[in-house]
């Protein structure tokens, strides 16, 4: 394998706000790798596909025919995104070493009940991507961690360690996508010192309320949340949910904080204005993050700065609420330290793909609960060319 690899990472989160794509040049692997972002972009989902994703996620409305077709539609969409990103970056698709595709999570069962088994399902058929780009695709990253007894999430802690670890001070990397998750990097840490977990809802409840109450996809610039009055009695009730009492490692998703949750709460508390609902959901996200830090991070690790990434970092109302809840800590965004909040997770899956190409483990057992370090992802090789790793 060449020492330098062009790899594209593709990420679509639980917010379903688009396909994040990042073209990255990577030399080496592990802590000594050199990583350079060449180009990144977020591609919007066509309305038809976005609607189908939400239908596929809904237990009551989903069906196998929908999921079967959507898997291939998303594969085609991801392949198109790769081709467009390469064109914009003036890089030939044939120059790519690999594509790391996370896929669109449809359902995630980290803690099964009754007859269910721990499992996860991401759509975006890798064979379609490999066929259309004639490039090796690495996908299905979560499955091996779950096979090893983990909850399959979060997976970005390894890449956070590669990019931000081994500093002279303690850091947390807080992602606020559909779900919130934190990676904790103690001062001068080794990989064994890193731990991570899902803090709770990110933008998921806010986005759903915006859609249902205002016919908007999200609260741009936090404008609605800033005008509303937080219903703290509702937040206090939500904070008593079992999830927040569980100790890490732990993971959650749309199965707990998705459409069903929002519809249930709207019925339970009638007469609340749209702006008050969005302010309340925004505060809930901030409160759940602060709760996670106060109970599971600060008692164990000295933290000098909190770095926010993901779509939530662009919501000033949310960021200010978090600062108010954690007044004694320095809170920054990815942009404050010279990186991009929107492309962080796409870059992460390019890095994870590179580790898999080198047959290196890249899960963090203290983050996922897995029994051991394992190599993540599955290969789909290009159909038209001999290829050597």
Query: Has 333 been labeled as part of a binding site?
Result: no
| Annotated binding-site residue? 105 | no
- The Cα-based distances of 179 to 151, 176, 312 in angstroms read 15, 6, 10
Annotated ligand binding at 170? The verdict is: no
Place of tokens 């609605």: 224
> Residue 361: which residues within 8 A CB-CB, separation 6 or more?
355, 373, 374, 375, 376
- Give the separation between CA 77 and CA 82, rounded to whole angstroms: 9
Residue 164: count of CB within 10 angstroms of its CB = 17
Q: Does the annotation place 338 within a ligand binding site? A: no
Residue 19 known to bind ligand: yes
Among all chains, which residue has been given the structure tokens 């001070």?
A: 169
Determine contact, residues 122/105, Cβ cutoff 8 Å.
yes
32 assigned to a ligand binding site: no
Q: What 3-state class would DSSP assign to 119?
A: strand
124 is in an annotated binding site: no
128 φ, ψ (degrees, to nearest 5): -65, -45
Q: Is 18 annotated as a binding residue?
A: yes
Measured CA to CA, the distance from residue 249 to residue 194 in angstroms comes to 12
DSSP string, 325-386: HSTTSEEEEGGGGT--TTTHHHHHHHHHHHHHHTT-----HHHH--SS-----EEE--SSS-
Helix (H, G, I), strand (E, B) or coil at 150: coil
How far is 339 from 333, CA to CA, in rounded Å? 9
Which residues sit in the known binding site? 13-20
Which residues sit in the known binding site for ATP? 13-20
């Amino acid at each position: 394998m060449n020492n330098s690899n062009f790899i594209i990472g593709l990420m679509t989160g639980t917010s379903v706000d688009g396909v994040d794509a990042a073209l990255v040049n990577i030399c080496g692997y592990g802590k000594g790798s050199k990583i350079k972002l060449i180009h990144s972009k977020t591609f919007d989902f066509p309305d038809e596909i976005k609607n189908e994703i939400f239908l596929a996620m809904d237990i009551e409305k989903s069906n196998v025919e929908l999921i079967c077709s959507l898997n291939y539609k998303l594969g085609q969409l991801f392949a198109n995104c790769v081709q467009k990103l390469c064109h914009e970056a003036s890089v030939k698709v044939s120059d790519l070493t690999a594509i790391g595709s996370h896929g669109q999570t449809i359902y995630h069962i980290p803690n099964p009940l009754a007859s269910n088994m721990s499992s996860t399902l991401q759509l975006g058929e890798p064979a379609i991507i490999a066929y259309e780009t004639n490039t090796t695709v690495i996908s299905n990253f979560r499955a091996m961690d779950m096979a090893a007894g983990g909850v399959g999430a979060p997976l970005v802690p390894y890449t956070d360690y590669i990019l931000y670890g081994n500093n002279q001070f303690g850091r947390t990397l807080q992602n606020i996508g559909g779900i919130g998750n934190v990676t904790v990097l103690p001062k001068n840490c080794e990989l064994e010192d890193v731990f991570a977990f899902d803090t709770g809802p990110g933008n998921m409840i806010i986005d759903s309320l915006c859609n249902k109450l205002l016919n908007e996809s999200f609260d741009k610039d936090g404008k609605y949340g800033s005008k509303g009055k937080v219903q703290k009695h509702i937040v206090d009730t939500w904070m008593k949910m079992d999830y927040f009492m569980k100790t890490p490692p732990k993971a959650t998703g749309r199965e707990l904080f998705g459409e069903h949750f929002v519809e249930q709460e709207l019925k339970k508390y009638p007469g609340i204005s749209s702006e008050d609902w969005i302010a309340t959901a925004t505060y809930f996200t901030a409160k759940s993050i602060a709760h996670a830090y106060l109970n599971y991070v600060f008692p164990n690790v000295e933290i000098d700065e909190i770095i926010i990434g993901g779509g939530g970092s662009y919501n000033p109302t949310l960021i200010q609420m978090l600062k108010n809840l954690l007044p004694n800590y320095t809170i920054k965004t990815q942009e404050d330290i010279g990186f991009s909040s929107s492309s962080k997770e796409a870059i992460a899956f390019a890095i994870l793909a590179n580790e898999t190409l080198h047959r290196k483990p890249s899960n963090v057992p203290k983050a996922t609960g897995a029994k051991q370090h394992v190599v993540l992802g599955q290969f789909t090789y290009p159909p038209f060319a001999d290829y050597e790793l």
